Amino acid sequence: MQKNTLEAPEPWWKFGYVWLVVAGPAIVVVAAIFTFYLAVTRPDQLVSEDYYRQGIEINKTLGAAQAASLAPALQARNHAQTGVVPSGQTPSRP
């Protein structure tokens, strides 16, 4: 007759797959706690009360700079279409 000998099972923490399954949610929990810490300790910067007016001023400044940089191109386009030389310039002859 054979004797049945059952070995005692190993504890759950000795299996690598258990740690693989537990690691994902554990990392997410740690990241959430860190994110909450950052949100609490770093206050938001306040938006100024006249943000709309400041935006309009920025757009005006950018629009003027863009229009100034395109002025020679616009003059050349207009001259090519109409043949009229802009005032203060003499036509060049090849």
Distance CA 31, CA 25 (A): 10
Residue 93 is assigned to a structural domain of this protein: no
Residue 1 domain flag:
no
To which residue do tokens 């207009």 refer? 78
**Percent over 70 (pLDDT), the chain:** 74
Q: So what's the pLDDT on residue 67? A: 61
Whether 54 shows a pLDDT value over 90: the answer reads no
pTM flag (> 0.95): no
DSSP tag of 12: G
Total domain count, the chain? 2
Mean pLDDT of all residues in 52-56: 86
Contacts of residue 88, Cβ cutoff 8 Å, sequence gap at least 6: none
Q: Which domain holds residue 16?
A: 12-43
Non-local CB neighbours of 13 within 8 Å, separated by 6+ positions: 19
Structure confidence at residue 28 (pLDDT): 97
Query: To the nearest whole number, what is the mean pLDDT of the chain?
Result: 80
Residues 32 and 55 in one domain: no
